[in-house]
Amino acid sequence: MLISSIKKKSTGFVAYFIVGLIALTFIVTALYGIDFMGSGQTVAKVGDKEISKTEFLKNFVPQQRNLQQQLGAEYSTDIENILKQTVIDQMVNSQILFQYAQNHGYVTTPKEVQTNIAKNEVFYRDGKFDVDQYKKILRLNGYSVQEYEASQFQQLTQEQLRSNIEKSAFVTDFERKNVTSLLNQERKFDYLEIPVKDFSDQVSITDSMLKDYFDKNQDRFIKPMKVSVDFVELNLDEVTKSISPSDDDLAILYDEEKNRFSTDEERKAQHILVENKVTADQVISLINEGKSFEDLAKEYSIDTGSKDSGGDLGFFGIGVMVPEFETAVFAMKEGEVSAPIKSEFGFHVIKLNKIKESSLKSFDEVKEQLVKIYQKNQGQKMIYDLSDEMTNLAYEGSLEELAEKMNLKLQTSELFSKTSKSPNKKMINAAFSDPVLNRGENSEPIDLGDDKLVVLRLNNLEKSRNLNFDEVKIQVEGIVKTQESKKLADKLTDEIITLISDNQKTDEILKKNNLKWTSVEWTKRDNQKVDPSAIDLAFKAPKPNSKPGISLSKNLGSKNMIVRVNALKTSDESAGNVDRLLNTYETDEFYLATLKELKKEANIEIYRDRL
């Protein structure tokens, strides 16, 4: 049974220490300000607290890798310097707030830390928390359980500070009234669309107009440089085709991967949690008299998370419940009711309803799955070994020699530019790199992800050049026609605005140009059914008094728009989450102001040359 499910049914007593992460990056941001190593070159000081280079790198490196993967060849020294600055600033800010919280009596208990940690499910496997998986990921990222618990302690302590700021924030009646009025405001309006394309038939374009535009805008008509490349690809799918495991190989893998194909024993129970043994004994007596366990749970249990469902906890396995509870449950028989079991939460009366035995799928049931696992494992090892060979051959010889010696197919791409969507972005960056583009060298192996490696070289190059008039005449004609049409649309828009107070003349113009107003009844700002541009203009228009409120826009691209606001109304009714929105704003502002003042008073030293 999932921890989250148990947590919903039971508030607290199942908070046996289960460690997890919301995400891999969470552990990075959560560790700011804690020097676990206690050694290494100091990169910053906040008061007496030193932040070591080791500590900084634990925060910086994962974020650096993430950016490098996202940006590829676009990752630069400037970006890295900005990232370093951001990370150290975050660590310093976090340490300042943590010190302030500690100095002002904010306390986080071990139980709070454990409860918070137990909410995370990243380390769950097959619906259950997997301790080995948890330890493995922490170990790979250089952290221990103790370090993570310490990070949670600091994070929760800082959150208390923000929580208290949030509770102290308040909304005045004046603020509430003004914001409520704005959110509740409704407007009744008409809007008029003047499409630019409607004037294209009225436009006369001459060759001299086209040539004049082209001569003045030649820098807009450039054919970009394009290249094609020869390349070879080493990928897992091809490598695995040659791998045929024997039954002995699969049998060994089956033994190694039994946990993957097995389910642990689980038990389904319900409980009644009470404060003392006297009450627990009384509950047991009532059960023995034939009273319903479910009814007694609803009446006596102090576990608010499960009492309404008759104390039901669903199925759970080893390592989920507190030790005393778990020991008792896994020693009981189906249908049995326990004696009072004492834990840190009180006294439990437990009824075991069902036992789901552990099971293991047979070799034959999972043989096909084993073949795929074996092929992938061996294929990844082969690619790792072959990548070294690929690197050496790419550096020492031609692409043809590399393809022949590694039995890979030599392929050629279509022409592409720097802004093309195909091929892969990493291949494009490599193709336009100096060694490939200017020196005619093979690229280094390019990791495309999904166990794919590519080496490429330049095949053909088309240099960039200015396009001549004949090549772009049709394109220029479209641009000039749109510009001339826009001039006519703007002229008509201005004419309508000038005469808008004269309904008769306005109607005549609209009829002549086959235009008409679109009416919108009372609507608020969040109306999703009306053109967003019309809504935006309507709520920017001045309030209507003796005359309608008018607003217009000539910058909507394919059209101009005029809005005529006829009426406005508002109400003092609650406008949803006004207090929450204002509180959030007030909290954020005060939180940032607090940090700013604390930084003024704090003794901060950052040794940027050591980052």
Where exactly are the structural domains of the chain?
A: 3-169+595-610, 186-220+470-569, 226-241+373-466, 265-357
pLDDT means over runs of 10, the chain (611 residues): 28 31 32 39 90 85 76 75 90 88 82 75 71 66 72 80 66 62 84 95 94 93 94 86 88 86 89 94 94 94 90 89 91 94 93 91 90 86 81 87 90 92 89 90 86 92 93 94 95 94 91 95 90 93 90 90 92 60 68 83 88 84
Which residues have CB under 8 Å from 466's CB, separation 6+?
Answer: 218, 221, 222, 223
Distances in whole angstroms, Cα of residue 385 to Cα of each of 378, 394, 448: 11, 15, 17
Query: Taking a C-beta distance cutoff of 8 angstroms, is the pair 408, 232 a contact?
Result: yes
Chain mean position to CA 244? 40
Q: Helices 131-140 and 145-168: crossing angle, nearest 10°? A: 90
Which residues have CB under 8 Å from 325's CB, separation 6+?
Answer: 13, 14, 271, 341, 343, 348, 350
Report pTM.
Answer: 0.46
Residue (of 254, 466, 450) closest to 361 by Cα position = 254
Exposed (0-12), middle (13-18) or buried (19+): which is 390, by Cβ within 10 Å? Answer: buried
Half-sphere exposure of 428 (CA within 13 A, CB side): 17
Query: Taking a C-beta distance cutoff of 8 angstroms, is the pair 269, 10 a contact?
Result: no
- Match 């096909």 to its residue by tokens: 368
User: Tell me, what's the pLDDT at 28?
Assistant: 34
- Match 């790198």 to its residue by tokens: 57
Q: Do domains 3-169+595-610 and 265-357 have the same CATH topology?
A: no
- What kind of fold does domain 3-169+595-610 have according to CATH? Triger factor/SurA peptide-binding fold (1.10.4030)
Tokens of 79: 């970006």
Q: Which helix (H) or strand (E) holds 79?
A: helix 77-103
Tell me the CATH number for domain 265-357: 3.10.50.40
User: Tell me, what's the pLDDT at 168?
Assistant: 61
